[in-house]
Structure 1
Amino acid sequence: MDSRRLGLAWLTLGLLWFLIGIAWVPSTKLYQQGLIVLFWLPAVWLSWTQRRFFVDVWRIEKPLVVALFALLVWAAVSVIWTAAEEPVREAKRLLYVVFFLLGMVLVGCAPLRMTAVLQWAGLGLALAASAALIYHYGVADMPWAWRVVGLGVLDHPIIGGYVFGMALIWWSCLPPRRTSLRLAWAAGLLMLFTFTVMTQSRGVWIALLASVLLMPTWRAGRAGLIMALLLVVAAIVGFWLFGEYVVARGTSYRPEIFAASVGMILDKPWLGLGLGSEYQVKALGRMFDHTHNLFTHVALELGLPGLVLWLAIWGRSLAIAVRERDTTLGNMLIGLWVFCTMALLFDGANLWDSPRPEWFLTWLPVGLAMGLMGVRAPSKCYHPRLLTCERSLP
């Protein structure tokens, strides 16, 4: 086997580990060690051997690449004034992001392979959602009012709900070709939807509702409209049955946290606190460990320059998805971008932490956008047979 194709297979396995391992691996440490072996190493090796390909990517999509480079440099420079206990360790985490994005570009230049990875990952996460529901409400005999949590690293209802909600979005855009497999696909979507509902996380519900309701605007045909109508009906029925639980928890201090965060940003608007600085937000006499909004967190940590650069990256990722909306992956990325944007407005916590579930909401959409860039590069980094650039998959 050609060494480049072997490297792609190695990298593909690493991407599957990133997407599925999060729900099955019992500890964050083991999950991250697996990423080093299966994703970081092949990403670095292939990036060096395919230097010409990355030069072409740079020429095709300078706005996103420049914004990413500038944000990484600014974050690294902020180590000078950070209050973090281990500045070098904080700076090292920037390399994790670089390795991840390099790997996403390399896998993305073979769109059929990327699609297959996301299909298998959707299946793996659907099985994980099913296992969690069976264990908690069946084996452990938890009451139905209890908030479900995932297995593995997804042992929190909010972050677990967001990861499975994202899987619901991307898997719904990738139906199998064979009719005989569509029943299993539909059952998996039902399990993912049930899990997101049973987390009782209103941020997850709002993100899912917004992305599905807007889906008909970029996804032509009856499928998107039917999904939107079904979700509206489910939302109405759910609120009628469980509305008192939704209202009882109020706004969870989100408006007060946002107002207090803005005040903290204005204290250091240009430099911010520095990369990895710990802080607490005081709202209504209570202390919170982060701003519960990624955009205010970035502004607080890296100042307004960091916020502007992140908004440029996030906005350019959407622009690439819209440009490629006629492709399967581009269409899917728009839905994920809407979902993640809503999620980050309510529960965004960190941008630079070591690989963990929060990366699904931040760096995965950016990585998918960069993968769509790689398709357009004139230098093909793998065997031509792997690089079929379809405009739409059946």
Structure 2
Amino acid sequence: MAITLIWSSKTWNEPFSMQFSYLSYSKHRMFDFICLWLLPVGLFLLLSDLYFVPDRSIHHKLYYGLFSIPTLIALLLRPREMKTLLQEPLILGMLAFIAWAMITLIWSPTDNSPLGLLKPPLHILMLFLGCSLLVKYRSESLQPVFFGAAIVALVMTVYNLYVFAGIYSPEARMVGTGAFDNPLLSSHAFGFFCIYWLTLGMTSKRQAIVLAAAPACLIMFAALLATGSRTPLVAVVLSMIWLSFICWNRRSLALMGMLIAGAVVVFALFSEMIFSRGSSFRFELWGMALELIGQKPFFGHGYEAPLALELENSGYFLSEPHNFALGVLYYVGIVGLIPWAFMQLWGLYNSWRHRVNPLFILASAWLVYGIGAALTEGGGILPRPKEHWYLLWIPLALIAALSVGQRLKAVLDRPVKCLNKADFKALETNAKVIEEDGLGPKVLRLENGNFLKLFRERRCYTSGSFNPYSQRFAVNSERLQALGITAPAILDLYVFADGSSGVLYQPLPGQTLRQVMQSMGSGAMRQALVERFGKFLALLHEQGVYFRSLHLGNVLLMDDGEFGLIDIADLHLYPLPLRLALRQRNLRHMQRYPEDRRWLFEEQLQALLDGYASLAPEIAVGRLRRQIEQLGQTGSTVS
């Protein structure tokens, strides 16, 4: 009877165990899908869809459905992510600002429910957290997302200018198609991408990109002028000054010259547009706003308190003070202004610290543009997704995300040096060619013992055009070391005049597993080594390391007996343990090499699986065994 009960208990528990494993696996895959695919799409549409969607409500829904809500789901699936994200000062500043804004509802004269008023701040918070997850787990997608959004904006802007040219009159102001309905608000979007192209021209190492960025920047600036808005012109000037100093290279002098020449042209051709409208009642609005702020300077009138500023007893009221800082002071007072100002100052300071990374330069240039535009625009402190997000929340969210990524070694944080032919010749003097192909050397051992790995420029645009493989190699090396996996120590990064790139690193002391296997005469020793390699392979998979080029020639057995990885440019780190399909793909790649296949999958298959099973889940071990057996049968049939 006891045996029967034990058997019955096990029988009943097995379905529940399998169901739990399936649910856990599904949670992992959902988190992967959100971080790796949904968030990049959501960010792309957030940046670009105002140019082509018919109204803002669709813009809101796309952001909520493809970015904000998925971010919330991802954090619910993996709440421990918050521990990492909450170490970022910008995110803490954002939380403090939102918390104080909610506290002011206690004395805010509003009829809206607190739950309804909480939704816009939460969506802004999800922007910060979602961008941080995106950079942490798929930082290589940022450059393509920005470039793709900028191309959409450029194409739509060319169309807008074409349409506007057909109806032009001296008093006309271009609004733009899509969800744009106001010249001033439209100018925020045009200026945002004008700064993108300007920054790309200042930071890109590729001459073709620099030459393409110049006309694109001029087109976006022409659209900015066509809106007739003056505030963005001040913002662009501030951004240009900031870029000149944060980049500080020979292009800085050209940028300052372009700034002076542009100022002369604008004042010569558009002086009437700039001065004819006077101050547009800005000084009067600011004076009235300051009077109201003086009534409750420290704690403010409260989040969502009504505001009505009448223009010269005309009966025409405005609900914004047309200055972001005054809006913050009116609603949440000096107490709320402190975290709001802290976020901007910390964002600029942190960007300056990490200015070797072009993404920090871009995000900070956007922030400076927003600070300049906010001097005479806006006032709502926590709005729903709209053009005002270009000025403050998107740049701050990106800086926060990049800061998280920098701390976790997910983004590059070292300079890339330009190397001319003479310097390269001096570097390769007495160097030994370790690896080459039909186009020349690929890996050189320099005279001092360091290795120089070269990545040639490709004729067509690939992902390597946005994220050079040399930089991927460096980032992957630092991320692996942060996980406790040995990888080469990076010394320098180079870019050459022809667009090729290189990485200089210290070689790891040891031999490849392929070399070690070839020198082993004892089957027992080979069995022990294969079992250790199986455990190492499981460690990689469980830590989310997907190494496409994994084979015995890219794994070292070092002098201290530990394993290390080399040639890691095409390695990718996933948020969670690898799904079964990627594990199987890794094994299929190793089976392409005859010696590796014989040692691992024929002679020592059980040792490999035993080592793999010591860390990997049983379902993964079983799936890999079946895959190897099927491939073995197929190979026998073919032979």
Q: TM-score, normalization: structure 1?
A: 0.90
Partner residue in 2 for 1:42: 70
Distance 1:124 1:144, change over 3 A: farther
Q: Is 1:206 paired with 2:234?
A: yes
Q: Is 1:154 paired with 2:180?
A: yes
Q: Is 1:28 paired with 2:63?
A: no
Deviation, 1:231, is 3.0
Q: Distance in 2 between matches of 1:249 and 1:183?
A: 36
* Secondary structure of 1:271's aligned partner: coil
Partner residue in 2 for 1:93: 120
Q: Distance in 2 between matches of 1:270 and 1:214?
A: 32
Identify which range, 32-41 or 82-91, moves more after superposition: 82-91
Partner residue in 2 for 1:163: 189
Q: Distance in 1 between matches of 2:339 and 2:206?
A: 43
Give 5+ residue unaligned stretches, structure 1: none
Partner residue in 2 for 1:309: 339
Partner residue in 1 for 2:20: none
Where in structure 2 are the equivalents of 1:1-394 lying within 5 Å?
3-7=30-34, 8-59=36-87, 61=88, 63-88=89-114, 89-109=116-136, 110-138=138-166, 141-143=167-169, 145-175=171-201, 184-282=212-310, 284-286=312-314, 287-378=317-408
RMSD of the TM alignment (CA)? 2.7
Greater relative CO, 1 or 2 (CA 8 Å, sep 6+): 1
Asked if the contact 1:56–1:379 (Cα under 8 Å) also holds between the matched residues in 2, the reply is: no
Tell which structure's C-alpha radius of gyration is larger. Answer: 2
More helix by share: 1
Q: Which amino acid aligns with 1:243?
A: S
Deviation, 1:87, is 3.1
Q: Which amino acid aligns with 2:319?
A: D
Q: Which amino acid aligns with 1:32?
A: H
Distance 1:186 1:380, change over 3 A: closer
Q: TM-score, normalization: structure 2?
A: 0.57
Deviation, 1:143, is 2.1
Asked if the contact 1:328–1:392 (Cα under 8 Å) also holds between the matched residues in 2, the reply is: no
Q: Distance in 2 between matches of 1:378 and 1:116?
A: 21
* Secondary structure of 2:86's aligned partner: helix
- Deviation track 1:232-288 (CA, whole Å, cap 9, x = no partner) reads 212212211221232211111212221221110011123322212221124543532
Percentage of pairs with the same residue: 24
Q: Distance in 1 between matches of 2:212 and 2:154?
A: 10
Asked if the contact 1:272–1:300 (Cα under 8 Å) also holds between the matched residues in 2, the reply is: yes
Q: Which amino acid aligns with 2:221?
A: F
- Deviation track 1:75-126 (CA, whole Å, cap 9, x = no partner) reads 1122222222313322222211121111111122343321221111111111
Identify which range, 186-195 or 275-284, moves more after superposition: 275-284
Q: Distance in 2 between matches of 1:194 and 1:38?
A: 32
Q: Which amino acid aligns with 2:124?
A: V
More strand by share: 2
Asked if the contact 2:367–2:392 (Cα under 8 Å) also holds between the matched residues in 1, the reply is: no
Q: Distance in 2 between matches of 1:248 and 1:11?
A: 45
Distance 1:101 1:214, change over 3 A: closer
Deviation, 1:57, is 3.3
Asked if the contact 2:190–2:220 (Cα under 8 Å) also holds between the matched residues in 1, the reply is: yes
* Secondary structure of 1:94's aligned partner: helix
Distance 1:377 1:180, change over 3 A: closer
Deviation, 1:354, is 1.2
